[in-house]
Structure 1
Amino acid sequence: MNRKTVAVTAFALFSLFFGAGNLILPPQLGFKSGDLWWLVAFGFCLSAVLIPILGILAHAKLQGTMFDFAKKVSPTFSLVYCYIVYAISIALPSPRTASVTHEMAIQPVWDSSYLLTSIIYFALVYIFVVNRSKILDVVGKLLTPGILIVLLLIIGTVIFNVDFVFGPTEFKSPFSHGVLEGYQTFDAIGAVVVGGVIIISINLKDKKASYEIKKSLIRKAGWLAGLGLFLIYTGLIFTGALFHDSFDVDVSRTALLRGISTKTLGNTANLGLSILVSLACFTTAVGIVTGTADFIKGRFNDSKLAYQITAIVGCVLGVLMGQFNVGYIIAVAIPALMFIYPITIVLILLNVVPEKYASPKIFKWVVGATILFSIPDFLGSIGYGDTITSFTSWIPLREYHMGWVLPALVVFVVRNISLNRHSS
């Protein structure tokens, strides 16, 4: 393992997490966070950077697949968890890429509908998924550096040319709002899904590498990738906060990113960013649909028919959801994220801690508590919050939509103490 290998692996991880759709989230967070942008950034980076990188560290430890993350609860639970994650992936983040493409690159130029864009977009996605073209792999390697350069130019221009004046925050709970907005990156789920891909890639490149060498490589690369994500996300939140009085209060996420790009670098750079983001969104959609189709194909004895049917279903769902604007898709995603994200975070953390503190029994109890105490947040996200308030008001952190955190932690500690006493 040398520095070049670490750097290449770190950049690969950074590219996997650096989804173009994620770029529209931090600027608006900053725009609304005002003088408390740093607190919002802390919360956002906790769920959008630290947890995903811990997911990669868990993969470094397991060196397996997504199935291995939850199998200590039970093989059946793990399989159901995998199905849910892939279903959410093709139903929400994949269509969102089409909507982002429409708002960033199509809408400013042509007066066409979201539906037309999504139909053409996912027709092309299907062609690439079925033919498994490697063209996008090559293009993808060029897109991330291109987007990164433009974003660094935007952030640098703002830092050296804009007065550091902030407005008041719009958020009642800036930290928790940042955490929950970080859910929308889907990066913790991405860590569980794509971490296995990195493991496979390393195994193919160097089959003789020992477990410890691969573990050390992924850990170092993971922290480097996390540092890059932290700098970009924090820079974009800071940038958005400095433009608090330059746009209408109800400006959309994509319009804000385009507006900041135009004000800092001009129309030409904005057009370039729009094209780069759109292409990167497309590669993300192809990757999600291909990964889901591969998973289903593997569950049906490598059936090509199962692969094609899954690809069709994924693209049809993309068209159905992609015809809505980005704001609507983000709002629709909240209930699903309130349910699956706490489970994913807990699985990541349990796989990171030493084995003696994370036995199968601990997995079962902690995950069970997480699911139970996530139900109020899930019901609240679909409009039943007032109905159950009298039963759930006692739950700590409930008002911040993180009622599962302390119960999961208490169960983890108490069950470990109980099991240690029993064994001694």
Structure 2
Amino acid sequence: MVDTTGNAQSEQPVEPQQGTASINAHDSDQSRTATKLNGRHRLVVAFTFFSMFFGAGNLIFPPLMGAQAQSAAIPATIGFIVSAVGLPILGVLAVASAGGFEHLASRVSPKFAAVLAFVIIMAIGPCFAIPRTATTSYEMAITPFAGENNRLALLIYSLVFFTLSFILSQHPEKLSKSLGRFMGPLLLVLIAVMFVACIFISHAPLGKPFGEYAHGSLIYGFINGYQTMDLLAALYFGIVISANISEFGVTDIKANRRETGIAGTGAGILLILIYAALSFIGAVSGSIKPANGKNDTGATVLTNLTTSAFGSIGTAFVGLIFVLACFNVCTGLISTCATYFEDIFPTVFGHPVKYRTWSVFFAVFSFIVSNAGLSAIITVSLPVLGALYPIAIVLVLLNLVQKPFSAKFPRVYFWTVLLVAIFTIFDCIIKLLAVFGLSLTSVSNALAHLPLYSAQLTWLIPAAAGIVIGVIDSLIRRNHK
């Protein structure tokens, strides 16, 4: 298997031990020398992977896209799937083939790998993503009944939410028994109910695309899929999936990596089917009640559809879907972060710190942050995630062409990531200053006039420059040897 730092472990069988990634000997379905999972176990692990990926953001974007794209929903969905599914699955495969994310990032430099790994874990963990799972599900499931700005209700809900998620996360190597066999399939059933309702509900013909989808629905679908930010989570979810695969008996390093890649591909297939269904649901909902691109969200689109199909109970139905999706992701993220920190920081100030202590820390910290409210979390998180995502994309894409290109010109990793990071971090700082009321108007206006800035793709320019410089640098170094 692959350890949490990304370093390949010994190919000796894993000995049972105390801790999170321990392998218990009670599973008699397969021997400890298994070289692959059987079909049933592969399906369960794929469902587990899907459940860890599919959160509130994944629910919100496709329906709103379908509601606005209308008759152009198919090309918009194709673009969305390419970025929302393609990039994360490429991330899973890249990390598996490189022997872990830090091995991949170390092609830039070992210190860079350690810093980037820590920052990503904190971003997809207690600082942003984990607290957002509680606040988003609260907004959808509780706010319609408890009212806006009910701080006590949010406090009670988040306390229960994180307590249950903490309990379930105490055995990350066994998440396939909860997320894979129960929670994930239940979520799919609820979404399938909405899809079937769309087939039979009476609605007007799909109209013309409007808003940003009126021109170039394929490219805008791609951009919205890019904003799901699932690639960052994909870089580390393999930690937990690897432990679950080991729990089923596949402990050999190469076999475990192969099964992790297969699980990622299976999760990708499930995501494609669900995104297509949600886009269709959104298109039908938009034909019943047109979506307001400025004020409505994907949650509004889903609520409009379920209200038309099921009446007032539809609001509770959508709320349940959001709670399940967010709870699955929260549990997966707590497991991933605690496993990573147990390996990187086994002691703190000379005292041993086990998985359970780290999981308590992440659950409590996330509980505190979640009570700041959804709006505050999203406002601060978007610039940070926007800075990290292009760096991750560059690393994954360079790994994709490792044999024919990147291995021959190894300096492309350093220069490409360096130039992309300079731009994205600078842009992040400007946006964060604006969040806290320190707007630099002239700088912001200058950035806004850069090519592709509105599409959040300006980083492609420094990336291209970094590749050219990296090739030249590699050739110079090679000639001086």
State the TM-score, normalizing by the size of structure 1: 0.83
The 8 Å contact of residues 114 and 323 in structure 1, kept in 2 or not, is answered as no
Partner residue, 2:400:
352
The 8 Å contact of residues 60 and 297 in structure 2, kept in 1 or not, is answered as no
**Which has the larger Rg?**
2
Partner residue, 1:104:
140
Matched, 1:187 2:230: yes
Tell me by how many angstroms 1:233 deviates.
1.4
Partner residue, 1:339:
387
| 285 and 16 in structure 1: CA distance in 2 versus 1, 3 angstrom threshold | closer
Partner residue, 2:59:
23
Equivalent residue for 1:233, pick from 258, 265, 275: 275
| 152 and 68 in structure 1: CA distance in 2 versus 1, 3 angstrom threshold | same
Tell me by how many angstroms 1:403 deviates.
0.9
CA shift digits 1:218-272 (9 cap, x unpaired): 4444333212212211321232233225156223443332332232355556534
Partner residue, 2:210:
169
Q: How is 1:23-422 mapped onto 2 (pairs within 5 angstroms)?
A: 23-64=59-100, 66-89=101-124, 90-111=126-147, 113-124=149-160, 125-126=162-163, 129=166, 133=170, 138-140=177-179, 141-159=181-199, 161=201, 162-171=203-212, 177-207=220-250, 209=252, 211=254, 213-244=255-286, 246=289, 249=292, 250-268=295-313, 271-302=316-347, 303-304=352-353, 308=357, 311-312=360-361, 315-325=364-374, 329-355=377-403, 357-359=405-407, 360-375=410-425, 377-378=427-428, 381-382=431-432, 383=434, 387-388=442-443, 395-412=450-467, 415-416=470-471, 419=474
SS at match of 1:409: helix
CA shift digits 1:140-185 (9 cap, x unpaired): 3312211212212322332454444124421277556544433543
Q: Which moved more, 1:194-203 or 1:392-401?
A: 392-401
The 8 Å contact of residues 239 and 336 in structure 2, kept in 1 or not, is answered as no
Q: Which moved more, 1:183-192 or 1:135-144?
A: 135-144
The 8 Å contact of residues 70 and 208 in structure 2, kept in 1 or not, is answered as yes
The 8 Å contact of residues 128 and 381 in structure 2, kept in 1 or not, is answered as yes
| 5 and 354 in structure 1: CA distance in 2 versus 1, 3 angstrom threshold | farther
The 8 Å contact of residues 48 and 182 in structure 1, kept in 2 or not, is answered as yes
Q: Which moved more, 1:92-101 or 1:37-46?
A: 37-46
SS at match of 1:73: coil
Identity %: 27
Q: Which moved more, 1:403-412 or 1:244-253?
A: 244-253
* Matched residue type, 1:228: L
For the aligned residue pairs, the C-alpha RMSD in angstroms reads 3.5
Tell me by how many angstroms 1:368 deviates.
0.8
Equivalent-residue separation in structure 2 for 1:389 and 1:108 (angstroms): 37
Equivalent-residue separation in structure 2 for 1:13 and 1:131 (angstroms): 16
Q: Which moved more, 1:281-290 or 1:400-409?
A: 281-290
With a CA cutoff of 8 Å and minimum separation of 6, indicate the structure with the bigger relative contact order.
1
| 305 and 198 in structure 1: CA distance in 2 versus 1, 3 angstrom threshold | closer
| 301 and 375 in structure 1: CA distance in 2 versus 1, 3 angstrom threshold | closer
May I ask how many residue pairs the two structures share in their alignment? 421
SS at match of 2:212: coil
Q: Where does structure 1 lack aligned partners over 5 or more consecutive residues?
A: none
* Matched residue type, 2:413: F
CA shift digits 1:88-147 (9 cap, x unpaired): 122222122112222222123333745334422443425753795459764433122112
State the TM-score, normalizing by the size of structure 2: 0.75
Of Structure 1 and Structure 2, the greater helix share is in 1
Q: Which moved more, 1:351-360 or 1:377-386?
A: 377-386
Q: Where does structure 2 lack aligned partners over 5 or more consecutive residues?
A: 1-35
